[in-house]
Structure 1
């Protein structure tokens, strides 16, 4: 299982920038049983770069399958008669997929992008100001998992949640997010959702454990970040990346496995690891189309249309009120 340290910065290469919130999140997860770390910690600057590299890997079918599907469907993705509307993307600090909708003539006049990454939102706004001069771009710096109040919206609006991020949420959290999004998009909400679907582990495991070791570096960069921002002293080389298919829960799990007995220190805590003990860093649920529709219906949505690629790998779902 590749774990190429060449993707990660050398020890001491990054300047220490202590973050009490990061330290608190790490301490909470690492003192629980089993040990966990929140996947939100993946996305520092290097983590964002590594994830972008993951999306281009031959094993990682999700991005290219979704974009090919959106290209093929085109304007059929939109609710009937939707013109001069507002597109609201949740978690949209990068506009590549939104462009498939924004480029449809006359369909959208405004793009609201909601994400915690303020710098990325600022850069995205600059890019769209150059390429889409007619488009009003409204970045909203917020965590879309919290109750959200959008700027005032006139006319029709379409929520957009591509990339199968819905699979990173526990089913109850996914339902809560979809209910919150519906309320934020009232009074006439529509929602376009991308989701990776349940399939053979022979396809899933390589997508989360690529031969080049990029996903391994992405996972282990969590520890690099904790050393920098939480004053931890992880020996990053003493952990390996593991991707596991949990059939009963219908999810891929990502773990960091301790290669030997070891002790890690954080301010105010000593964390002991046995050989083979893991830190559970992420889940990625792979629902059947029917299970995903059931989650959305529990949040008050009604399925309008759904599409899948020819192999049934990925689905796009249009929900109405």
Structure 2
């Protein structure tokens, strides 16, 4: 992954942005895991785990006998294990393909996850890790022999910007075989206060992750950004077009006119900020999207996938999809 190219593109744009994944180095991952444990307002993790635990058996009954499970944005695979447990009750072996973006910390996470799962499932699970941008990896992994179930859970799907969601869903649909399935989880919460408290929690646990964006620039690139000249803000904003989902926008607002330098072998640029100018913490602004049933149906229609089965609890929707056959 060319980090310099992403930073150059984002900080040269109007409005400026830094990709959300940039916050997730080793320090950022630790902050995120801390927030999962301590941020009582962050509902997504516990409600997603609950719906997977409740319906994993039904998923296995609906997406029968895959030879491989592909896990997009695998993380530590904690929730994926609920599906692996179900399939390995009746199957002697299964191929597991965890996929994530190609950064050193993610590669390290993939290694840790693979080691832990090998210890847990022993010879029942054959693990083939892949790292890279989804648009490059998806066509390659779907060329693998055998029937596949693709998991896109843990917020990895909804945290992509909306055009990218359509693009990647369409890419998966184009490369899936007729008997293969894709399972996604999405946040269907619409209450503005609930959403904003989850991502800008009053206890301050989640904001450490966002501040790590600037901290990482200082640590690794030596930008010497004065953190006191920024404030962290955010808002859940619904789209004017009701078929598109609302998004939680997070930004760092400059409280004064300022500038900072990026001076590396691969990138040299001066970033100038006006007073009250914002740096958004994801491409396209929204760090995560929230859907209604109507908006999901529109998304699936645009992406050439159709629903096999849906499940729902108080906050989370879980949807099993198949490609539309032309």
Superposition TM-score, scaled by structure 2 size: 0.85
C-alpha deviations, 1:209-228, integer Å up to 9, x for none?
Answer: 01222222111111111123
* Runs (5+) with no aligned partner, structure 1: 1-18
Per-residue deviation, 1:208: 0.6
Could you say which residue in structure 2 is the equivalent of 1:291? 295
Could you say which residue in structure 2 is the equivalent of 1:106? 90
Could you say which residue in structure 1 is the equivalent of 2:260? 264
* Runs (5+) with no aligned partner, structure 2: 241-245
> What are the residue-to-residue correspondences of 1:137-286 with 2, within 5 Å?
137-146=127-136, 148=138, 149-150=140-141, 153-186=144-177, 188-248=179-239, 250-267=246-263, 268-282=268-282, 283=286, 284-286=288-290
Q: Counterparts of 1:243 and 1:120 in 2: how far apart (Å)?
A: 29
SS of the equivalent of 1:214 reads coil
Could you say which residue in structure 2 is the equivalent of 1:45? 26
Could you say which residue in structure 2 is the equivalent of 1:69? 51
Compared CA separation, residues 91 and 215, structure 1 to 2 (3 A): same
Contact 1:182/1:189 (8 A) holds in 2: no
Could you say which residue in structure 2 is the equivalent of 1:318? 320
1:115 aligns with 2:100: yes
SS of the equivalent of 1:136 reads strand
Q: Counterparts of 2:70 and 2:3 in 1: how far apart (Å)?
A: 28
Per-residue deviation, 1:184: 4.0
C-alpha deviations, 1:2-22, integer Å up to 9, x for none?
Answer: xxxxxxxxxxxxxxxxx9x43
Quick check: which one's helix share is greater? Answer: 2
Q: Counterparts of 2:144 and 2:137 in 1: how far apart (Å)?
A: 17
Contact 1:91/1:144 (8 A) holds in 2: no
Compared CA separation, residues 98 and 319, structure 1 to 2 (3 A): same
Per-residue deviation, 1:271: 2.2
Contact 1:204/1:252 (8 A) holds in 2: yes
1:33 aligns with 2:5: no
C-alpha deviations, 1:162-217, integer Å up to 9, x for none?
Answer: 12322222332111111222344435320110001141111000011012222221
1:91 aligned residue (70, 73, 78): 73
C-alpha deviations, 1:63-114, integer Å up to 9, x for none?
Answer: 1001111111131123536125311111113210100100111256111111
Compared CA separation, residues 120 and 147, structure 1 to 2 (3 A): closer
Compared CA separation, residues 187 and 308, structure 1 to 2 (3 A): closer
Compared CA separation, residues 243 and 218, structure 1 to 2 (3 A): same
Q: Counterparts of 1:285 and 1:74 in 2: how far apart (Å)?
A: 24
Could you say which residue in structure 1 is the equivalent of 2:118? 129
SS of the equivalent of 1:315 reads strand
Per-residue deviation, 1:119: 1.2
